[in-house]
Structure 1
């Protein structure tokens, strides 16, 4: 007996310390990295706050040492009011959709120490301090309220809010998913009015999802989901004045008014900006609302012959009420400077590169701080640009993916950087990019991976049939032999404006790909037409034909790989999730002669089943463009399936509905095609929770080992 136990102990020890990246290690958290949570610059520009295990702590930029505790306790997030005399603390939350959640919040007065629960301790959504710091607006049960922080009095602004019917100051499902945020209201700068969007979704078709759980009869999840070509919420802009306690509807009849994606305040006391759009999303009005009178002035219209990225607005008002705006007018995304009346002063940034993030403006130096692709489309760097001279100064390394969190006075910033070979590091720099101190690294994580024979990505380009050079990466076994033929496993996403070929750390699928490489596969990824950061033409060539050029490029890439001496052209597989799953489904049908194996997770299989805002942005409606929808649906090519195909979907996916996979499965069945199908009960688009991810990736691994 003792001998048997000793043997088992030895085997367990060997298994754990084997020089291999295993699924057990990946999903046990063995390779998990370290970060810095909740970085926020304080108003003095000399200190910053972070969330730590014991509470919210203040650090000095100059010394990088702790400079006191702001609040003790455990909090999920925090927000200061403008003068940092109060702090809004999220204590508990329940997720709703991708961005929205219900939260319980406290407001703490940092001078007196007094704590007040928001909404009597009940759940709310999207709480926001008034600029004067004396009130907090919030949404509860689809109605808009504000709470006076001196008296505790709660004032109800709207009373018609109702689930699946009326929302006040809150985005409906499709707005939240496709415009990227749940909040649809804003305080004026002088805190005397709120402009909000009212959404009437009563006529929007309702989606029903069964929830199985551990119950005798399944329950139902019902929510409004406008599919392509169907009715959307009817939206209106409303002005509420605190002095009169009255709400008036703003008249948008002379402007584009089908969508109202964004609400902003300006640098002036009595102004709010509305961004509006027609259904086709190829033009957006920028409207200025006078919150004293309700009068509306159009500043300008941003238009494009194909589409406007209504989910990616850059807008900041400077002290003189001039403003900075992001647009793709010259073939790349750049910044433009307008006066307060909407007249263009100048284009700030220029060049064959794109502005990928905007961090802010320093009025003292007349400089904007941005993230760009100026050092190549697979890299993201940090720069500053003088808005008068146009001079660009690089503040980060030239390679890798770098992002920044700037101090309030722009004298410092915390740079988060990574590359394909190096996990995240957090470095404090001064406003000119000089390194002052490394705050956090992930050398321990990297050493574990290197000890387990991690391989890194090699970057290169592949030509497509249109003459474009497509960005690509490849991962080869450590003992790679150029005279040996390897099976190839391709990964992609391919959605409009997306990017998978980046010089950045990939702790998601990247670890799984390493596991597969150690099993003898070569793994590669190619960003074809339609993806981002290579200019507007490359991105928008897919207009009205979503899927057509994308699958052509994946097939072309697979054929290119198949001609390489080290690839077995008869053993090429492909994998993708969501839009990537859609592409994998097309690859195993339209590309059946090229791809032997495919895995499609949560795929769209018919764009008629996807939401209106996203799909119509790129395709117009099915009524206008039926061929664009039907000619690029994998269900139309089900009879072409030849290889081994694994279809995976969560039954409670509120984003890409399970219906997509069910329709595709039925098309395959009626064409007498054999395939594997895995349904994850009550799992959403992310297919996660408990042991779900570990089981999912083991299943996909086993499928590949048996079929590729």
Structure 2
């Protein structure tokens, strides 16, 4: 064979190979994936049990209604799924409070106080007062039911049907009854009383009656809230105390989001949030002593460490930091069953400290029982955010409290003896605990954990004082359990990485088998062989092992290019074994893999599911380790999966869009192209609750904001950038990308484009918008990573 022939043959083979690489086909398309999700089928959600444990209720859509409706399955006929009639749904007992024996339940229906009887499965109306009634509760004396109406607590007596108002709380300021009327008003009143004898007589009688009451009984006590709003009003189980929160909100400047497509034809400004650093609310905990008829505040000023400075202040040696009592947010109280004791969850507003304290109900004094300090920010499963206590309460002995803490580095369940102060960890290990609750007899815990694997969730039973956990679920994936009221059955909302959510039923025993009750996938959805992404770990530059899931093309289809997906929300987990909330992106990754791309989906630093150190690794530097994890992921793809280092793209939405911008601006040698969707471009323009935890505030910690905001690094753009954003986004405002666009224009960058969506908020709704956005993303990657021209 001569040399020229060999060269010709080789050239033909190369051309054929080159042509084949651009002709990979898929049964999927962007249009198919991004259409109304109804094409996939119907999948159950919002699982609940009937009070008698005989029926499972859930949202579903067998009849192709405009939205999901309520359906049910009776345990006597598991093969029959029935749509719940409007009348049946309307008359179902809602959320409420059971008596100790779990035989009766009080709840609200159509602003009426209702009583449900479990034995007869019947309900009756107790009273309807013409005003909104809230939060009915059985007291220790179960003949008495408390409820809230018009920011006051009332008692209803089941035996007599009588109603007693316990508190006297009013909004606004006390009216000055001694203030003299104007000359005009005084003249008008005297003229009216002189003309109308009956009116004059009634006024005289009222004044005489009021004077007598004041002389004999004293002036009626009224607590005036002033400009403060009232929330979390509750009554102690022994009916001796009421407590409530008083909230003072500053009149802060708020952003507005213009709607250019309003039906009126006019531009309408949508009200939106304030920005990070705006003055947070002030929260006070008030105690209403019912016998003494007085109100006083819980004292938070003596908590240990209340004046402590955060460590980041050392970064500003030139600044003088004033020592002061930090503002806090108390929540609760949480009463012991006998009503004699109470605990309060207290958060510092800078979210560096959490105190669990006892509350002296007679004086309002707080005593710290447990202090959790984190120089980053307090959070984690069961620990709650700034306004809630998370997992927190009392055991029936009225001596032990339970709570969750990241003390060990992972969120676990603890007991604390309030008498001795001794603390005990009920769970231990490199895993996290979710949603623990006490059994009906208070002898066991039911809880969900990630003990088997960070990417799995299973349901367990454990003795109340700790001990061996009994694993009650076996299916690999996510087992989201609703326990029946009689605790004999588990209704399980289950999914796997390539199988959407379905409803299963099993007995509350480790060795029982789960039975599938729903099968909602459409035939067209089932016809595609959805991939099961492989869970992998790769080593980061600092030695940490980073979890991810990878989609690998067949050897024949492999085009050598890769796309890295960055999930949003920051604190969220996506490298797991269950059906992702990013189901559209999951399907898009199947399409990309069909076309020959390798796709990597990383649970970068800051993601949920891996403990405190992983969660807080982004403190004061978003775009630090969370970005370097993406770079290390790219290097892993090159080293282990034959990906061409010159052809790696990156994309994501929200936090994922932010990381995409940081990647293209700061790691241009790694990422050739990227699509930044609904992305934060400057953290100083995001909200307070989320951002201040991670970066503190712009005025106090400007270093953190400058090193974390993409707009400061825009000059580093070298690759190809697509920016996509909804113009009605009230979460990450459209203003973010407008400011970035102006910055790119001023820098004379021409390798970027922007797609705007005039009718979309942060989470897109319209299939046409989803389709347009993802067609642009696919086009970007095809044209820049494969040199394919459409």
For normalisation by structure 2, the TM-score amounts to 0.72
**Among residues 215, 223, 241, which one is paired with 2:264 in the alignment?**
215
Aligned mate of 1:635, from 708, 711, 721:
711
* Deviation per residue, 1:103-145 (Å, 9 max, x gap): x866555455449779657xx9xx533345845437xxxx845
C-alpha deviation, 1:639, in angstroms: 0.9
Distance in 1, matches of 2:513 and 2:79, equals 9
Moved more, 585-594 or 254-263: 254-263
Deviation string 1:341-378 (CA, Å, 9 cap, x unpaired) is 482341111122221x1231237584322211211212
Per-residue deviation, residues 426-459 of structure 1 (Å, max 9, x unmatched): 22223323436525233634x6434123222111
Structure 2 residue aligned with 1:597: 673
- Unmatched tracts of structure 2, length 5 or more: 1-25, 61-67, 117-121, 174-225, 307-325, 786-790
Check whether the contact 1:144–1:168 (CA below 8 A) recurs between aligned residues.
no
Contact 2:106 2:137 in 1 (8 A): no
Tell me the distance in 2 between the aligned counterparts of 1:25 and 1:565: 27
- Residues 615-634 of structure 1 mapped to structure 2, 5 A cutoff: 615-634=691-710
Residue in structure 1 matched with residue 721 of structure 2 by the alignment: 645
Residues 117, 669 of structure 1: alpha-carbon distance in 2 compared, 3 angstrom cutoff = farther
Is the CA contact (8 Å cut-off) linking 2:569 and 2:654 kept in structure 1?
A: no
C-alpha displacement of 1:472? 1.2
Partner in structure 2 of residue 204 of structure 1: 252
The 10-residue stretch of structure 1 (537-546 or 433-442) with the greater mean CA deviation from structure 2: 433-442
Q: 1:22 to 1:450 in 2, by over 3 A?
A: farther
For the Cα contact (< 8 Å) 1:205–1:231, is it kept in 2?
no
Aligned position for 1:502: 576
> Which of 472, 476, 501 does residue 424 from structure 1 map onto?
501
Q: 1:168 to 1:696 in 2, by over 3 A?
A: farther
1:253-264 alignment runs, 5 A limit: 253-255=301-303, 258-260=327-329, 262-264=331-333
Residue of structure 2 in register with 1:265 after alignment: 334
Which of residues 399, 406, 429 is equivalent to 1:351? Answer: 429
TM-superposition CA deviations, 1:192-226 (whole Å, max 9, x none)? 65433222222433223333313354333345525
- Counterparts in 2 of 1:400-419, with a 5 A limit? 400-419=477-496
Distance in 1 (CA, whole Å) between partners of 2:70 and 2:154 is 25
SS in 2 for 1:631: helix
Q: CA–CA distance in 2 between the matches of 1:115 and 1:597?
A: 65
**RMSD over aligned Cα atoms:** 3.9
1:553 equivalenced with 2:614 (yes/no): no
- Which whole-Å CA distance do the structure 1 matches of 2:715 and 2:129 have between them? 58
Match 2:598 to one of 518, 522, 535: 522
Q: 1:157 to 1:354 in 2, by over 3 A?
A: same
Superposed counterparts of 1:98-137, under 5 Å: 108-110=114-116, 111=122, 113-114=124-125, 120=131, 127-132=134-139, 134=145, 136-137=147-148
SS for the counterpart of 2:384 is coil
Residues 508 and 289 from structure 1, CA distance in 2 versus in 1: closer, same or farther, beyond 3 angstroms?
farther
> Equivalent residues in 2 for 1:287-436 (5 A)?
287-291=357-361, 294-309=364-379, 311=384, 313-321=390-398, 322-341=400-419, 343-355=421-433, 357-362=434-439, 364=441, 366-388=443-465, 390-397=467-474, 399-435=476-512
Radius of gyration: which is bigger?
Answer: 2
Structure 2: distance between partners of 1:624 and 1:547: 20
Q: 1:261 to 1:626 in 2, by over 3 A?
A: same
Pair 1:239-2:287 in alignment: yes
CA distance in 1, matches of 2:456, 2:669: 35
In structure 2, the CA distance between the partners of 1:112 and 1:190, relative to structure 1 (3 Å rule), is same
Deviation at 1:666, TM superposition (A): 1.9
Q: Which residue of 1 aligns with 2:567?
A: 493
- Do 1:652 and 1:681's aligned partners in 2 also have CA atoms closer than 8 Å? yes
1:383/1:394 contact within 8 Å kept: yes
Name the structure 1 match of 2:177: none
| Deviation per residue, 1:501-529 (Å, 9 max, x gap) | 11111234222322333344332211222
Mean alpha-carbon deviation: is it higher for 636-645 or for 106-115?
A: 106-115
CA shift digits 1:304-359 (9 cap, x unpaired): 3432116352213221232221111112211111124482341111122221x123
Map of 1:4 onto structure 2: none
- What SS does the corresponding residue of 2:344 show, helix, strand or coil? strand
Instruction: State how far apart, in whole Å, the 2-side matches of 1:66 and 1:455 are.
Output: 30
Alignment partner of 1:472 out of 541, 545, 548: 548
Alignment partner, residue 13 of structure 1: none
Alignment pair present for 1:37 and 2:37: no
| Most deviating of 429-438 and 280-289 | 429-438
TM-score (norm: length of structure 1): 0.80
Counterpart of 2:204 in structure 1 is none
Q: CA deviation at 1:77?
A: 10
Could you say which residue in structure 1 is the equivalent of 2:35?
27
How far apart, CA to CA, are the structure 2 residues paired with 1:340 and 1:66? 49
Higher mean C-alpha deviation, range 78-87 or range 54-63: 54-63
The answer (yes or no) to whether the contact 2:33–2:587 under 8 Å persists in 1 is: no
Per the alignment, residue 229 of structure 2 pairs with: 168
DSSP-derived class of the 1:130 partner: strand
- How many residue pairs match? The answer is 647
In structure 1, runs of 5+ residues without a counterpart are 1-17, 90-103, 171-183
Q: CA deviation at 1:65?
A: 8.9
Assess if the C-alpha contact under 8 Å between 1:204 and 1:224 holds in 2.
no
